[in-house]
Amino acid sequence: MSEWMSAEQAALRLGVKAATLYAYVSRGTLTRRKADGRSVFNRAEIEELAGRGRPRRQAGTTELVIESAVTMLGADRHYYRGRDAVGLAATWRLEQTATWLWTGAEAGAPEVWETAPDALAAAREAQRGLSPDVLPLERLQVIVTALAVADPVRYNLEPAAVAQTGKGLMAGMVDALPSEASPDGRDRGLHARLWRKLSGAGAGERLADVLRFALVLLADHELAASTLAARVAASVRADPYAVVTTGLGTTSGALHGGASLGVESLLAEVGEPGRAAQAMGERLRRGERIAGFGHMVYRAGDGRGDALLERVRQAVPGHPRLAVADAVLDEARRRALPAMNIDFPLGLLTHLAGMPRGAGEAIFGVARTAGWLAHAMEEYAKPTRLRLRAAYTGPLE
């Protein structure tokens, strides 16, 4: 008898749906590998799990399983429609990634994504009264709302229409951000335009390609908090702009997209390698968590973060601020903190590139818009809405 079982056999033996089976993989309960292009599972693990019953969820968390063909979480990384996202990030742009997530088809020749001139003007005008200190993520929320008002056909929820809306929406999110940089016609890709909006004077141009790499990695991550919120909105037929606004609002949470802001603050406070121990120690003494470390899914380490950090190192070898990051990583190991996650190199990227405070959140929001819309398309195709139930714990009269 083979030591490996097909997904169908494993799900039947455990009495669960395929989505639940892959949820066990993402939590590290089961081992999965590829054989002849198909997923197979270790028979001994399946039998052991069948004997002791379904695994209990982690204390303090609530897990909801929704069937989706968009993204699967592996042991240390994620897969977009079955393809390794870290591998795709080596060469793909955000536009290609979004097209793949939305349609399951590879994009053809490079296409310049743009939004309607009147919509772009409205999005820029909507920010006129904002303080210069407003965080980029908060600007994106204003921008998306203005773009929505300027789009009279936003309620067309057919897949092709949503994809077309997504192209203009993502282009508008980038192009409506304020910038003092001069336009550059050499590269019209979203990552190049976002780089010109956010990077500081004198930032190494090689870091622009690191931004491209990061955008691909961040485009989706299964049912993260913002994606679940976006799917709930889509399930009641909220339009694509409302879906993205919902995702952006959830992204601002310190335990989600806002974690990179915590990394930016830490690196700025440390300043020089010798201060890492003191700065981190003071945070821990105050009962604060150290942003950029630990992940609910990747217990042994986040392969996305490792890949992004390596890209940063290759882009600016010997940069003096890398020594600060290394000191923080060393101190984290000395204090036995959880493994680094992708928020740490994202915060480091914005720090090295001289980007404004909160730029990491904006990068996350622009990238994750691709994933939110992919999940929205799945919900638009379903006849029912998502309706969670509460376990009431209040008084009874």
Contact 90, 221 (CB under 8 A): no
**Residue 134's Cα: distance from chain center in Å?**
22
Tell me the C-alpha distance between 294 and 305, whole Å: 11
Distance from C-alpha of 298 to C-alpha of 101, rounded to nearest angstrom:
22
Tally of residues, the chain: 397
Structure tokens at 71: 């993204």
Q: Which helix (H) or strand (E) holds 32?
A: strand 32-35
CA 77 – CA 297 distance, rounded (Å): 9
Rounded Cα distance between 116 and 169, Å, is 10
**Pairwise CA distance, residues 155 & 153, whole Å:** 5
Of 165, 213, 201, residue with least CA distance to 376: 165
Q: DSSP states of 128-150 as a string?
A: TTS-TTS-HHHHHHHHHHHHHHT
What is the set of active-site residues? 295, 343
